[in-house]
Amino acid sequence: MSTGTTRAFRLTRWGGPPVLTEVPRPSPAGEEVLIRVEAAGLCRSDLHVTDARPGDLPYRLPFTLGHEVAGRVVERGPLATGPAPGERVLVHGPWGCGSCARCRAGAENYCDRRADLDADRAGMGAGLGRDGGMADLLLVPSGRLLVPVGDLDAVQAAPLSDAGLTAYHAVATIRRALDEAPGACVVVLGVGGLGHLAVQILRATTDARVLAVDVREETLALADACGAHFTTLLRPDTGTVLRDRTGGVGAAAVLDFVGSRSSLEPAVRVLRAGGELAVVGSGGGELTVRKPGVLPAGTRVSLPFWGTLPELAAVVSLAREGVLTAEVERFPLSGAPEALAKLRSGGVRGRAVLVPD
Ligand code: FEH
Ligand code: ZN
Ligand code: ZN
């Protein structure tokens, strides 16, 4: 039986700043599992949610932010399954219906009933219309959404559940283009919280030559440290610079973690015929898919979103093998407003992570 109150960083009105406040301590019922949060990452999506106007998002207010969460199981409902009290876990962020074909396959990021859930304003998941993990405690609907992390450091683990998983799923999405052309080039546009992990995942799981692009020198240094074979600042001629770097044939695949007009332009310019473009970032850029058009013949375009439960387990394995390390900047939970402001200003290198203080 849970009693007392606990802290949570909550969005209480659309467009208003989230506030750190006291909420009743949750008590797990049925299949629910209560997690003591050890770390919660911040994401640019938290800015989109915080800035949303009434009606923009199919979410009900108020709710606690935080969809990138690591913690320890503290209490389970009477019907709960999965990790037992005391186990350290990651929380899979997208919460689907749990019973459709996609959810049964662990692909809750592509739940077949997402439209119905949105119509009911049920929320996307932790911190996205449902109470999330920028808090001391997090109530998770089911143990199916928990992935054990063993002794992995919580501040290292939390970014894996969103940044790491999204990067891993994006690489999996373009894998075919890399398998068709061993040693081919892949371009990573944007080497921030997701891109730097994608560079590591590409180096650890493929033989592709990684060409990284960003607008900040210090981020290109991070890309280099993560194993990129070539780095260059985004400029008007970046598409040509990249294509020259591929020996003129073009890149077998492009991972665009920005998704803006300024990133899609070089993406289209560098793509090889029959290549793959994965647009991961929500930068508002647009691409016309037309034949003939700007995209090379045979281009496959995808819009990968987050990742699946099996993929999250694979990401945790890579991290535990020591081949995937998140660049993180720690903040106390009490400093959540400052962390969000620093993310908004573009001042965070890698991923900002809140730790309950
Ligand atoms: C979450 C909700 C909606 C759009 C994008 C996201 C990502 O931050 C998940 O990785
Ligand atoms: Zn996110
Ligand atoms: Zn579903």
Beta bridge partners of 183: none
List, for residues 117-134, the tens digit of each pLDDT value.
999 998 999 999 999 999
Cβ of 57 closer than 6 Å to ligand 1, yes or no, is no
CA distances from 321 to 270, 289, 315, 318 (A): 33, 40, 10, 5
Transcribe 282-305 into DSSP letters: -S-------SSSSSPTT-EEE---
Nearest CA to ligand 1 atom 6: 45
Q: Tell me what pLDDT residue 3 has.
A: 66
pLDDT confidence tier of residue 1, bands split at 50, 70 and 90: very low
Q: Tell me what pLDDT residue 83 has.
A: 98
Same fold, 5-162+307-355 and 164-302: no
Q: For the purposes of burial, counting CB atoms within 10 Å of the CB of 23, is it exposed (0-12), middle (13-18) or buried (19 or more)?
A: middle
CATH of domain 5-162+307-355: 3.90.180.10
Helices 238-245, 261-270: inter-axial angle, 10-degree rounding: 30
Rounded to whole angstroms, how far apart are CA atoms 349 and 315?
Answer: 21
Q: Tell me what pLDDT residue 4 has.
A: 87
Q: How far is the CA of 178 from the centre of ligand 1 (A)?
A: 26
DSSP label at residue 122: -
**What are the structure tokens assigned to 85, written together?**
């009290």
List, for residues 19-77, the tens digit of each pLDDT value.
999 999 999 999 999 999 999 999 999 999 999 999 999 999 999 999 999 999 999 99
For the cut 80, the answer to whether the pLDDT of residue 268 exceeds it is: yes
> Could you tell me the pTM of the whole model?
0.96
Ligand 1 pocket check: which of 44, 92, 124 to mutate, most ligand atoms within 8 Å of Cβ? 124
Q: Which residues contact 6 (CB under 8 A, 6 or more apart)?
A: 22, 23, 24, 25, 26, 135, 136, 137
For the cut 80, the answer to whether the pLDDT of residue 199 exceeds it is: yes
For the cut 70, the answer to whether the pLDDT of residue 96 exceeds it is: yes
Q: Tell me what pLDDT residue 300 has.
A: 97
Cβ of 43 closer than 6 Å to ligand 1, yes or no, is yes
Q: How far is the CA of 163 from the centre of ligand 2 (A)?
A: 7
Cβ of 49 closer than 6 Å to ligand 1, yes or no, is no
Cβ of 162 closer than 6 Å to ligand 1, yes or no, is yes
Transcribe 69-94 into DSSP letters: EEEEEEEE-TT--SSPTT-EEEEPSB
Whether residue 292 is preceded by a cis peptide bond, meaning omega within 30 degrees of 0, is yes
What average pLDDT score do residues 205-219 get?
95
Q: How far is the CA of 162 from the centre of ligand 2 (A)?
A: 5
Q: What is the mean pLDDT of the chain?
A: 96
Q: Where are the chain's structural domains?
A: 5-162+307-355, 164-302
Ligand 1 pocket check: which of 57, 110, 128 to mutate, most ligand atoms within 8 Å of Cβ? 128
Nearest CA to ligand 1 atom 7: 45
Which run of H or of E encompasses 23?
strand 19-24
What average pLDDT score do residues 127-153 get?
98
Q: Tell me what pLDDT residue 183 has.
A: 87
Superfamily in which the 164-302 domain is placed by CATH: NAD(P)-binding Rossmann-like Domain (3.40.50.720)
